[in-house]
Amino acid sequence: MGRRLRAVEVAFELLSGLVLVGLTRVTDGGVDVEYLAVGFASGFLYRHAQTSAIGGGFRVSPLRNAALAVAWAPICVAIDRSAGDRNGRRAFAAGINFGSAAHWIARRE
């Protein structure tokens, strides 16, 4: 059951990232590759910290997971505010989705 749930999560993250990139291309004419790359790194590192420092998901250690989210939030807010426009924000959000999905794909056992 765990592998199927993980596959659904990865598919959802990839699909939502593709929707954000497509929406940005249609409405704003292009994607800020810099913010996409920063978002990818942020999403990948967040999932890495979640699996290595915490050792798993929310059920394993809810307090540590909450502490990681609280510590990570200012980083994401600072990057989001530095973007300045919808194009950068959407690219950053899509990058987070892609980075998170890439981490789960790389960790596949």
CA 72, CA 93: separation in Å to the nearest integer?
Answer: 14
Give kind and range of the element (H or E) at residue 32: none
Read off the pTM: 0.83
Q: What is the DSSP string of 43-96?
A: HHHHHHHIIIII-SSTTT-HHHHHHHHHHHHHHHHHHHHHH-SHHHHHHHHHHH
Q: What is the pLDDT of residues 85-106, one digit of tens each?
A: 888 888 899 999 999 999 988 8
| Number of domains, the chain | 1
pLDDT in the model for residue 6: 82
CA dihedral in degrees (10, 79, 77, 14; nearest 10)? -10
| pLDDT greater at residue 41 or residue 53 | 41
Q: What is the pLDDT of residues 18-44, one digit of tens each?
A: 998 988 888 877 888 888 999 999 999
Domain holding 68, by residue range, is 2-106
Q: Residue 79 corresponds to which tokens in the numbers above?
A: 């990057």
